[in-house]
Amino acid sequence: MIKACHRRFDFWSVSAGFSRICHMLLSTIALSALVACDKFDDGADPTYPKQQEKTVTAGTSSVHSGSNGGSLIGDLFAEDETNVLMVAVNGYLWRASLDTLSFMPLSSADPFGGVIITDWYSPPETPGERFKVTAYILDRALRSDGIRVSVFRQALMEAGNWADVPVHEGLASDLENTILSRARELKVRAKSG
């Protein structure tokens, strides 16, 4: 004898399956629309336009395009007839700091913020220690408080790792004095020449 199999129709399971299919279909449509927005051509050139050389005019804050024989970096520290520097730091202190710290590899140099950060440097005489220097140029005037130097020192431990150790007292102020002397020298040389 064959038994008839009667199953009851479950509306909620069909409705949940239909809901999942609708959600997947709507998600696919939305994703396709977003991808299509990237392909939309509004007539603009898809490649970036070539940037023109920007130069800063002395004595003003305007930037204009063109080439007048100068460069942006070369003109940053130029002085105009009113003796106003075009960056927020003293150009002589900036150049003197770079000259004084030139034996160390530079990690970062920001002429607008007046911060110079060196990378770690190990003197050839003492390969078991290394130094890092950060110089902050704080003022547009050539003054003794216009520069602050921070020196960091590490020593190589027996385990092979570097550990922070105290810096020799007076090393930071000696560097500051060297930078100030060099800056004064640069200023005298610029005035006489």
| Calpha distance 111→94 (Å, rounded) | 7
Is residue 86 scored above 60 in pLDDT?
A: no
Nearest to 141 by CA among 92, 90, 181: 90
Query: Domains in the chain and their CATH numbers?
Result: 52-86 (no CATH), 88-192 (3.30.530)
In the numeric block, the tokens 């002395």 are attached to 58
Give the distance between the most distant pair of CA atoms in the chain. Answer: 122
Which pTM was predicted?
0.56
Query: Which of 57-66, 70-79, 109-118, 128-137 is least confident?
Result: 57-66
* pLDDT tens-place string over residues 11-64: 556 566 677 787 777 788 877 766 666 555 555 544 444 443 333 333 333 333
Of 127, 126, 44, 136, nearest to 89 by C-alpha is 136
CB atoms under 10 Å from CB of 144, counted, come to 8
Taking a C-beta distance cutoff of 8 angstroms, is the pair 55, 75 a contact?
A: yes
What separation in angstroms does the CA of 186 have from each of 92, 124, 182, 192? 6, 29, 6, 10
CB 156, CB 122: distance < 8 Å: no
Tell me the residue type at 11. Answer: F
pLDDT in tens, 133-189: 999 999 899 999 999 999 999 999 999 999 999 999 999 999 999 999 999 999 999
CA distance 148 to 138: 7
AA letter at 107: S
